[in-house]
Amino acid sequence: MSEHGLKSTRQRDLIIDTFFTTPGHLSVEDLWSKVRALDQRVSVATVYRTMKLLSDSGLAHARNFGDGQTRYEAALGREHHDHLICTRCGAIVEFENDRIETLQDAVAKKHGFAVTSHKMELYGLCKDCQRTRS
């Protein structure tokens, strides 16, 4: 943390450890619930501030998948990936596809565009929700 300019505190360390050891995409409320199970004194405001610091320092990515709730995913040690988001149940599937990445690079090159970052999110219904579609 210190190499990213973040001061270490016991509560912040607990939040960070919990965040980096929990798979998936966590909202502040989800993370707070997990942290509170370990230490009741951690406030939701402390979790919000810590996640903002992690996001600002590039250690976490803030994502909004169209439902108005920000979720965070770890940035360290992660390869670039894209997302499939179920609009009914909220399931999020991560995927990687080299052909898609190559095509995106070709489109950018064709238009003389220098890509610095990108994200791709596909919205629809997961298999389970398609089966129960009304």
User: Whole-number mean pLDDT of the chain?
Assistant: 89
pLDDT at 3 over 70: no
| More confident call, 134 vs 59 | 59
What gap in Å lies between CA 92 and CA 72, rounded to an integer?
A: 12
Lay out the sheet containing 26-27: strands in order across.
26-27, 70-74, 60-64
Domain with CATH 3.30.1490.190 in the chain: 82-131
The pLDDT of residue 69 is: 87
**Bridge partners, residue 61, by sequence:** 73
DSSP 132: T
pLDDT at 78 over 60: yes
What are 53-63's pLDDT values in tens digits? Answer: 999 988 898 98
Q: Which residue in 71, 81, 70, 74 sits closest to 120, CA to CA? A: 81
Q: Write the CATH number of the domain with boundaries 2-74.
A: 1.10.10.10
What are 85-132's pLDDT values in tens digits? Answer: 999 988 888 888 989 989 999 999 999 999 888 888 899 999 999 998
Domain with CATH 1.10.10.10 in the chain: 2-74
Helix axes of 44-56 and 10-21: crossing angle, nearest 10 degrees: 70
Superfamily name and number for 82-131: Ferric-uptake regulator, C-terminal dimerisarion domain (3.30.1490.190)
Question: Residue 63 — φ and ψ, nearest 5°?
Answer: -130, 140
Work out the percent of the chain whose per-residue pLDDT is above 90: 57
